[in-house]
Chain A
């Protein structure tokens, strides 16, 4: 399997507080890789570094052989990296169409083309959200906003898609809808990287699984279920019960 993202000896600290310590990882191309971990374990820090928001790190982060800091923006960029942040606050009541159209901005010199307008409609159709197109983004529910933002990132047809807790604020229906769609994208060849909180959803949809532990990333895909059980209990600091879900492992808290 060809790995498209290579992280070597990545360290990062907030002041004197070390957040990542000589982290090494590889992510496969065209797969859905999911990163699990506690709150404050450094998942979002790693995410921000990979997204290009945080640039002051030690070590190397290669995307398809190119150091993250050297990947440009706009039409010039060699590899399209799209990401969805955890928090978003908007001031102005843009319509859904306008919000998603901004996702096509890197394809345009000045004005959107007919292809850009069509892409906006297509992505909304894919998620069955076409009825929202002329609604104000601000008037939407949290879940709908999250989906619209996901559409906005997807409309640029990224080679690599990074999502920080994409199922946040979503009800079960939309959680599954989003994960299915992400999985589909991965099957179509997009490399998807996803930070998540729910280990069970991760086990159901992830091709590759990682857990953030001791400021490093541990690959847990090939662990035996007993080892996994121990690791999850260690990570989340609660006793867990292992159940069977149609041949897959399901971990629930023991009460």
Chain B
């Protein structure tokens, strides 16, 4: 496919999906004329707006669509950034322990309501990454291997603590905790969009600004030094930003597994490893893909499958296919 066609699709597909997703829903599908009619009435401010329809579109579907897109983009971009920095295609935003830290934070807040679940999830997600970073310091410097290993250890510790909380909690709270950790796009609201919007957009802008430098980091630390770039602070800044957007996404909708691992691979297959276009592509493909998944579980299935479970189920075969296709590249 022509490069320019692909780039146009990056803008076009999310737009079409956005409109399409507004029309889909369990309470009945809208036709495009009905949707246009509604928008027309809203803009020109004449004609009577159907109140239930307004509620469904404005208060139920739109915030969910916006949040889904934001979260999808965040996880994809964070995955792409971390894979480039660690020069490792099997790293994802949860490798450094964010998901288990956030899940523990959320569970803690559900059992001991000192602060909001989202805030607690965010704080503990960030704490987990900070731990990982500190643990991985070996003799004043941190290597890729030590950091990934530390991530595994810190994840393990937080998972153990989460299990302990689950063991201690009563059945109702246990159910709430488990539902939260499975991903919960169905609880989307404008308030959630509001709290996630700021940090995610800020993070994405920083990554977009630094996307050219990501190519330098992807070649390795010494190769960055060789051309006069100090990789240390750049890496630290990008890890911090990835943590922020991932933690905001997880705090808003729970744990969505495998997504941040797979989307960067899809992007690289379509656009190559150049982060210049790759970061834009991850925003578009990540947002669109999660929107499609959510539409599917919203409108096609008779009951809603939690999005985290869904991504895990469809992610496994996709990942196996992608892995086998790009195996020749990695092993050389």
Contacts and interface: CB of A to CB of B under 8 A. Distances in A.
A99 B275 CA distance: 12
A156 B88 contact: no
Contact of B273 (A77, A93, A108, A153): A93
B209 A110 contact: yes
Binding site secondary structure of chain B: helix
Contacts of B84: 92
Contact of B230 (A73, A95, A99): A73
Given A105-B212, A108-B212, A92 B218 contact: yes
Interface stretch (B117-125, B185-193, B221-229, B303-311): B221-229
A152 to B, nearest CB: 7
B87 interface: yes
A74 interface: yes
Contacts of B332: 138
Contacts of B329: 92-93, 138
B230 A74 contact: yes
A190 to B, nearest CB: 15
B226 A83 contact: yes
B25 interface: no
Interface string A72-110: 111001001111110011111111001101111110101
Given A93-B329, A111-B212, A105 B227 contact: yes
A112 interface: yes
A91 B209 CA distance: 23
Contacts of A52: 225
A93 B229 contact: no
A40 B261 CA distance: 41
Interface of B: 84, 87-89, 209-210, 212-213, 215-216, 218-220, 222-230, 268, 272-274, 276, 329-330, 332
30 contacts: A73-B230, A74-B228, A74-B230, A77-B228, A82-B228, A84-B226, A85-B226, A88-B220, A88-B223, A90-B219, A91-B88, A91-B89, A91-B330, A92-B89, A92-B329, A93-B329, A94-B218, A94-B272, A94-B274, A95-B272, A101-B215, A105-B216, A106-B229, A110-B210, A112-B212, A152-B227, A153-B226, A153-B227, A156-B227, A156-B228
